[in-house]
A and B are shown apart, each in its own frame.
Chain A
Amino acid sequence: MYIAGLDIGSQSTCAVIWGSGRIWAFSVLPSGVNPQKRGEEALAEALTKSGLTLKDLDAIIATGYGRYQVEAHRQVSEISCQAKGVHFFFPQVRTVIDLGGQDSKVILVDPRTGRVLDFLMNDKCAAGTGRFLELMARVLEIELEDYGKLITQGKEDLVLANTCAVFAESEVVGLIAQGKERADIARAVCKAVAQRVVQLAERMGLAEPIAITGGVARNRGVLHFLEREIGASLLVPEEPLLTAALGACLLEG
């Protein structure tokens, strides 16, 4: 029995092919402006990698914000899928922090089953999401992956208002105008994101062990400050973008 899980997020689209208790293949593509088309492309790529065809699939389960825009046998929220997917990699995990492109979530997981016990999502503000990091990277004229390198070079402890992405952007512009070092500003950006996420996580009540997923999980800068703020190390799946799509498969299988 082969199942495809499709996670159509605001930034990335991921397809996972699951069967006989293992991942056969997966693909990750940027979501772009046409989630339906990108979902089909991601699925086609994963199928090619696995050597299967669409006819071999017993079910397609869609998740992510674009889950209702693709043809699938069933749609499941990304919250349940993340919990299940992370449970596969780390069965002991009790909290999942999912930092996606446009929202952040804190999910309490039952370690016996991988089911969701409770969850909390960020409010309307983009601070604390991948979009925030992208916006600030654009202002700083750096690549997303540069954050991790830059935070080790920073010396001055700058503080960034972390309540509004728009205000924060103008604050960053102000800091550049003041001649502050790029590395110090990048450090402040990562710290602001981490603090925002920790505020959310602490409202929910963090239970260890904690795992982190989503695109931001690859950002070593944010990860560093998150671990410092929480006071615990975080488990990061090898492929933090595929957990929701995998969870979709597992919920069906």
Chain B
Amino acid sequence: MHRPPQWLLKSFSFLLNRKMPFRLLKAYTRWLEWRKPPTDLAQFSYQVTLRSIAKLYGREGKVVWASLFFPSEFIYAFRGLPFYPEIAAGLFAALGFAEIPLHRAEKAWFSQDLCSYHRLGLGASLWRFFPRPSFLLATTSICWGTVSFFQVLEEIFRVPCYILDVPEEYSSEAIRYLAAQLEDLAHTLKEKEGVTFQWEEVFHHAQKALSMVQEIESLRKRKDLLLLPPTKNLDYLPYYYQFMGDEVAVTFFEQLRAFLLSSTQTLPHRLLWLHLKPFYPSPLPSLLEEYGLGVVCEEFTSLFPHELNPLEPFLSLGEKIASLSFHFTHPKARTKRILQWFKEYQAEGAIQFNQWGCRQSQGMNALLRQSLRREGFPILFLDGDHLDRRHNTQEQWRTRLEAFAEILRG
């Protein structure tokens, strides 16, 4: 892709920072909803994306940026508009625009070795492509890179950044520690931002969405039903993170369940997908399909069932953060969880797509491989980048996937 000229990018950035185009977009989305009520997942997601863009860029409320493991329920509770730059980075890549912000970040001395989710987020922020935040919320998990990322964002936008310290353990003490921080944060935001918190409705939506997710997981454990097209579920990541606590997630998961129930196509092999995937258009899903490698469970869309109690909101969300962090970042806990999925989903193998520069996930590769091999489960590590296509060698994927499928066939 040729990089567009500077004047064009500046004009684009200028438009993104004006409310008027997004008022027009909002009118269009209303017309679209009336004219073409969504009947499938693709149309539904398209309309949700447009509506979110209109709200965020039209600044219909406080735009609050959050790191992936910061619970969106907290933001919805004070009627904030959650924006997850790491998820938005994936969308940028999916639309084929990743190169522009990546180049901008590299020009500003952010090394190519830095995780591309953060590099892209920084480049897009320097270009002012993302909706300007009122303030930033982050957790010290999933990785320390996230903290540095948010600290740099704080400098770029000159807005407050609040970071929750997440303990390494998953215990009642750790949950209470997180709950206390959340409560302090709520007080600070009430004082400084003038917001008030209403938990009932938000928790109701989140709880309902979560029970739908559990139903979907039960369906995906069945061998006679269609798996989604390989890795497709990771395209729905916003519903698992950004929209938890919003009614839109409930509607989406209802539709997803209906889709799974209506289809009967299956693929010969059932796999677990660890970490994330390349979000830019690539032959990976079709290669997986070609070799009969179905994906029945993805690590990042497997949430923990947890009770959300509106009478104890901070404890509830503290538990959510603690459980997510612990099971993603603690090698033994992560491995135990993965081995459990092998049984529950009757999976035959796992694929992890290593993200270039990601220490958090790759640091435990050897342990993970060792544990899985001990139980007789093969794992394939693909190396590349989820957003920066310059770090990928797509032809090499084919040989690795083909050989992996041959191992599974025996």
Contact = CB atoms under 8 A, between A and B. Distances in A.
Interface stretch (B191-199, B301-309, B400-408): B400-408
A115 B396 CA distance: 21
State the main secondary structure of chain B at its contact with A: helix
B247 interface: no
A77 interface: yes
Nearest to A121: B400
Nearest to A119: B403
A184 interface: no
A103 interface: yes
B270 to A, nearest CB: 19
A121 B402 CA distance: 13
B403 A115 contact: no
Contacts, number: 37
A103 B407 contact: no
A15 interface: no
B395 A65 contact: yes
Contacts of A103: 396
A123 B383 contact: yes
A65 B399 contact: yes
Interface residues on A, range: 10 to 19
B383 A116 contact: no
B393 interface: yes
Interface string A111-146: 000011111010110000000000000000000000
B393 A77 contact: no
B410 interface: yes
Nearest to A76: B406
A105 to B, nearest CB: 9
Given A65-B395, A123-B383, A80 B406 contact: yes
A210 interface: no
A77 B403 contact: yes
Contacts of B292: none
Q: Which 7 residue pairs are nearest across A and B when measured between Cβ atoms?
A: A79-B403, A77-B403, A77-B402, A80-B406, A116-B407, A77-B399, A123-B383
9 contacts: A75-B402, A77-B402, A77-B403, A115-B410, A118-B373, A121-B396, A124-B383, A124-B391, A124-B396
Interface of A: 65, 75-80, 103, 115-119, 121, 123-124, 203
Interface of B: 366, 373, 378, 383, 391, 393, 395-396, 399-400, 402-403, 406-407, 410
